[in-house]
Structure 1
Amino acid sequence: MEVAVKIADALDVSLDYLVGASSFVVKDKKMLHRLELLDKIDDDDRETILKVVDNYLTTAQLQTTTKKLLQKG
């Protein structure tokens, strides 16, 4: 197990990704830590946090799309 952890660290991937259990690579260790914490909290709190994050992400995507459209026009 220790060897696998060292290999995953060297490749900057998670153990799940290394063994094929995940197709998603989280290279930002802070983000990975946040996801792990999110997984440990109760369902109601997790849903509340995810709703807030979803709202911010939707707003950011809309702003990015709007800027691109304005630049083309």
Structure 2
Amino acid sequence: MFRQRLTMQQAQDIALQRVPGQVLHVDMDLEHGVLVYEIFILTSQNMVYEVEVNANNGNIIKIEQEDFD
């Protein structure tokens, strides 16, 4: 669908649609040959979620809650 990779901003927008909050940090990683944005979001409940967005097609790969114990 996309000829061009998603920008970091587009990836953040996609992640925030699923997990509303404040973006703390964005990483880019290569997982199984796929370029992935790892977006860490702080929610209003003070929970931090990592949302992985496929940088090629914008699909959300996974959402997981981070534990800082």
TM-score range, shorter chain: under 0.3
- TM-score norm. by structure 2 comes to 0.25
Structure number with higher helix proportion: 1
- TM-score norm. by structure 1 comes to 0.24
Tell me: higher relative CO, structure 1 or 2? Use CA pairs within 8 A at least 6 residues apart: 2
Larger Rg: 1
